Homo-oligomer: A and B are copies of this chain.
Amino acid sequence: MKKLINDADTVVGDALRGIEAAHSDRVRVDHEHHLIIRADAPVKGKVGLVSGGGSGHEPMHGGFVGRGMLDAACAGEVFTSPVPEQMQVATAAVDGGAGVLHIVKNYTGDVMNFEMAAEMAAEEADVRVESVVVDDDVAVTDSLYTAGRRGVGLTVLLEKIVGAGAEEGRDLDAIVELAKKVNGQGRSLGLALTSCTVPAAGKPTFDLGEDEFELGIGIHGEPGRERKKLAPASDMAQMLVEPILADLEFGGDVIAMMNGMGGTPLLELYLMYGEVTKILEKAGVKVARNLVGNYITSLEMAGCSLTLLKADDELLKLWDAPVNTPGLRWGC
A267–B22 alpha-carbon span in the complex (Å): 13
Interface size counted on chain A using CB atoms at 8 A: 62
CB distance from A131 to the nearest CB of B (A): 26
A290–B22 alpha-carbon span in the complex (Å): 6
**Are B233 and A271 in touch, CB under 8 angstroms?**
no
The stretch from A84-92, A296-304, A307-315 touching chain B is A296-304
Q: Specify the chain B residue showing the minimal Cβ separation from A212.
A: B2
Contact with B along A224-245 (1 / 0, CB 8 A): 0000001011101000000000
CB distance from A307 to the nearest CB of B (A): 14
Partner of A56, one of B18, B265, B304: B265
Give the chain B neighbours of A17 by CB distance below 8 A: 271, 274
**Are B297 and A265 in touch, CB under 8 angstroms?**
yes
Give the chain B neighbours of A266 by CB distance below 8 A: 58-59, 63, 262, 294, 297
A248–B257 alpha-carbon span in the complex (Å): 42
CB distance from A184 to the nearest CB of B (A): 26
**Are B277 and A21 in touch, CB under 8 angstroms?**
yes
Q: Which of A2, A16, A258, A304 counts the most B-chain CB atoms under 10 A from its CB?
A: A2
The stretch from A4-12, A94-102, A154-162 touching chain B is A4-12
**Are B7 and A232 in touch, CB under 8 angstroms?**
yes
**Are B297 and A22 in touch, CB under 8 angstroms?**
no
Q: Which of A3, A22, A59 counts the most B-chain CB atoms under 10 A from its CB?
A: A22
A263–B15 alpha-carbon span in the complex (Å): 17
In chain A, positions 181-233 with a C-beta closer than 8 Å to chain B are: 193-194, 210, 213, 230, 232-233
**Are B267 and A21 in touch, CB under 8 angstroms?**
no
**Are A19 and B270 in touch, CB under 8 angstroms?**
yes
A258–B268 alpha-carbon span in the complex (Å): 22
In chain A, positions 48-74 with a C-beta closer than 8 Å to chain B are: 55-56, 58-59, 63
**Are A55 and B267 in touch, CB under 8 angstroms?**
yes
A233–B294 alpha-carbon span in the complex (Å): 23
A317 within 8 A of B: no
A319 within 8 A of B: no
Give the chain B neighbours of A5 by CB distance below 8 A: 232-233, 268, 271
**Are A234 and B267 in touch, CB under 8 angstroms?**
no
**Are B4 and A271 in touch, CB under 8 angstroms?**
yes
**Are B270 and A15 in touch, CB under 8 angstroms?**
yes
CB distance from A264 to the nearest CB of B (A): 6
A321–B12 alpha-carbon span in the complex (Å): 33
A290–B273 alpha-carbon span in the complex (Å): 29
A272 within 8 A of B: yes
Give the chain B neighbours of A232 by CB distance below 8 A: 5-7
CB distance from A212 to the nearest CB of B (A): 9
Not counting A5-B268, A12-B267, a sample of 9 additional A-B residue pairs whose C-beta atoms are within 8 angstroms of each other reads A2-B213, A2-B230, A6-B271, A18-B269, A19-B270, A20-B274, A22-B273, A265-B300, A294-B294
Cross-chain pairs A/B with CB under 8 angstroms, 18 sampled? A2-B193, A2-B210, A2-B213, A2-B302, A4-B269, A6-B234, A11-B267, A14-B275, A18-B292, A20-B274, A22-B270, A22-B290, A22-B292, A262-B263, A263-B302, A266-B297, A329-B330, A330-B332
